[in-house]
């Protein structure tokens, strides 16, 4: 058997085996990826996250986002650093942890105007 015929025959068998493997594993690729997001409280500033979760936007992109309540921002930063969660909505604690050397990255969005107001009674000062 010549080298060319040998390569053709085994090359065709290799390609066939690869295509067969693809046919049986395509269901695995279609599965959604689980993403854990920690939040210490449901706040107005996190409303876009909750709206997108409620409307199914993450699922449309192939992500199964699981919202995990944590008792305070430092707990979320610890879980994030340890790898127990993928993202945290707690800004302050994550920033402090990153400034102290934790391997974290932040993605922030800012507004041109304040999104919060504080009201009090006039007789309080």
Strands 33-39 and 63-69: parallel
Enter the pTM of the model.
0.61
Task: Render pLDDT for 40-94 as a digit per residue (tens, 0 to 9).
Answer: 888 877 888 888 999 999 999 889 999 888 887 788 888 888 888 888 887 777 7
Mean pLDDT, the chain, as a whole number? Answer: 75
Q: What is the DSSP letter of 120?
A: -
Checking if the pLDDT of 18 tops 60, the result is: no
User: Can you give the pLDDT at residue 56?
Assistant: 93
Calpha distance 48→54 (Å, rounded): 10
Calpha distance 94→106 (Å, rounded): 8
């Amino acid at each position: 058997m010549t080298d060319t015929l040998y390569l053709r025959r085994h090359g065709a068998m290799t390609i066939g085996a690869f295509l067969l493997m693809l046919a049986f594993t395509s269901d695995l690729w279609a599965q959604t990826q689980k993403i854990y997001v920690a939040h210490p409280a449901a706040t107005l500033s996190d409303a876009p996250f909750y709206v997108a979760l409620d409307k199914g936007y993450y699922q449309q992109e192939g992500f199964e986002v699981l919202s995990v309540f944590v008792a305070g921002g430092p707990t979320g930063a610890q879980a994030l650093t340890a790898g127990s969660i993928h993202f945290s909505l707690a800004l302050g604690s994550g920033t402090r942890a990153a400034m102290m050397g934790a391997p974290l990255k932040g993605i922030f969005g800012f507004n041109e105007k304040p999104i919060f107001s504080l009201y009090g009674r006039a007789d309080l000062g």
